[in-house]
Amino acid sequence: MEEFSDIMPTPSENMLFGMGNPLLDISAVVDKDFLDKFGLKPNDQILAEDKHKALFEEIVKRNKVEYHAGGSTQNSVKIAQWMLQKPHKVATFFGCIGKDDFGKILKKKAEEAHVDAHYYEQTEEPTGTCAACITGDNRSLVANLAAANCYKKEKHLDLDSNWELVEKAKVYYIAGFFLTVSPESILKVAKHASENNKIFCMNLSAPFISQFFKEPLMKVMPYVDILFGNETEAATFAKELGFETDDIAVIAHKTQNLPKENAKRQRLVVFTQGKDDTVATVGDKVTMFPVLDIDQNDIVDTNGAGDAFVGGFLFALVQEQSLEECIRAGHYAANVIIRRVGCTFPEKPDFH
C-alpha cells in the first residue's frame, strides 16, 4: 500500500471480491441456562452438530428474535459497500443458498445493500442459518451451514461468466470459515491474485479453523497478503503452529514471516482484541492502534464486530489508503455495528 496518495482512485464495479458462507442470522438474547443446556461458551463460533438441532427450534420461539442477513464474508463486503455508498456493486459476493424463503431474504438483502451477489442455488439443502445467542456483550454463534456447504467450484466459480467477475477484482477477501466448504475454490482465487500481484485477504475466523482445518489453511497461507484475526484466534493459531508464545505482537511478527509466494508484497497481519488495541505489522515492526472509546451501555451486541472491522478496512484498501487509514475505517465500522443488533448499519456512514 502506498504510504500517501493525493489522488484517491475511484472504486469501480466488482473491484472487491468476496466468497463465503451466506447465512441467515437468527439472533436472540438468551441466558446462561440456555448456553449451558447446549454446551456453549459465551463467546465462540462453532459449527452445529446433531445435539444443536433443538437449539434452532428453541431460539426461534424466544421473544424478540431477529432475522438478519449474515455470513462472515458477506457481512464484510456488505459493510465495505455501505462505507463506499457509490458506485453500487463495487463488492461482488459468491456463495451457495437454497431455493427457499431464507434464500430469497438473503438475495433481497444483498440487493438492498447494493452488493453484486451471484449465488449458486441448489435444492439438496436449505439455506444456511446461524444462531446468534446473545448474553450481555458476548455472542455465541452456532452455524448450520446446510446449503452454504454445497458450494461447488466446477458448478459456479469455474463458469466463464463468474470467473470474469473474479478477474475484474483487485482486492479479494475470504473468511477462514470457507475452508470447511471449498478449499479448492479459495486456492484458485488466491493463486490468481498472487500471479497478478493483486491483494488477497483472509481471516482466521474462529479457533476451530486453526485446530481442525490447519492443513487447508496452511495451503492457502503462502498466497495471503493480509491476514485478519482476533486475539483468541491468534493464540490458537500460534499454539497449532508451535510458536511457543502468547505475546500477540510476537505472534503477529511470526505469522508475517511465514512462507509467501508473491515476494512483491510483504504480508500484513492485523489482529483485533475487542476493546483493547488492534495489533498490526508495519514493515518489520509491530504497532498498536487504539480502538474508539465506547460506553459499555452503548454496546447492544458484538455480533459482526470483527466482520465490520474487516469491511471498513477493505473500504479504505480498495481506495489504496494507508494502513493507518484502513485501521481507522475498520475501527469506525466496528464501533457502529456494536451499537446495533447483528451486523446491521444505519442508512449512511458518518466517517470522515
- Is 44 within the bounds of a domain? no
- Preceding amide of 87 cis, omega within 30: yes
State the residue for C-alpha cell 505472534.
251
Say which residue the cell 479448492 belongs to: 184
Q: Give the pLDDT confidence score for residue 262 in this predicted structure.
A: 97
Predicted local confidence at residue 7, as pLDDT: 60
- Does residue 184 fall inside a structural domain? yes
Comparing C-alpha atoms, which of 72, 123, 68, 77 is closest to residue 96? 123
Closest CA to 323 of 264, 275, 267: 267
- Say which DSSP state 151 is in: -
Residue 97's pLDDT is what? 98
Q: Is residue 39 part of a domain?
A: no
Residue 64: inside a domain, yes or no?
Answer: no
Residue 232: CATH number of its domain: 3.40.1190.20
Per-residue confidence (pLDDT) for residue 9, from 0 to 100: 73
Domain assignment of residue 202, yes or no: yes
- Domain extent, residue 203, equals 16-21+71-126+146-338
Does the residue 34 lie in any domain? Answer: no
- For the chain, how many structural domains are there in total? 1
Q: What is the pLDDT of residue 208?
A: 96
Polymer length in residues for the chain: 352
Please give the pLDDT value at position 51.
Answer: 92
Read off the pLDDT of residues 189-240 as tens digits, 9 standing for 90 and up: 999 999 999 999 999 999 999 999 999 999 999 999 999 999 999 999 999 9
**Known catalytic residues?**
307
Structural domain includes residue 343: no
CA distance 164 to 162: 5
Q: Rounded CA gap, 279 and 231, in Å?
A: 9
- Residue 153, pLDDT score: 98
Comparing C-alpha atoms, which of 218, 211, 248 is closest to residue 202? 218
The stretches in the chain having pLDDT less than 50 are 2, 4-5
51 lies in some domain: no
pLDDT of amino acid 100: 95
Name, in order, each residue with C-beta under 8 angstroms of 271's C-beta and a sequence gap of 6 or more.
Answer: 228, 229, 230, 231, 233, 234, 248, 251, 252, 278, 279, 280
C-alpha cell at 81: 459497500
Q: According to the model, what pLDDT value does residue 8 have? A: 67
164, 238, 239 from 211: Cα distances, Å: 34, 10, 9
Determine contact, residues 148/98, Cβ cutoff 8 Å. Answer: no
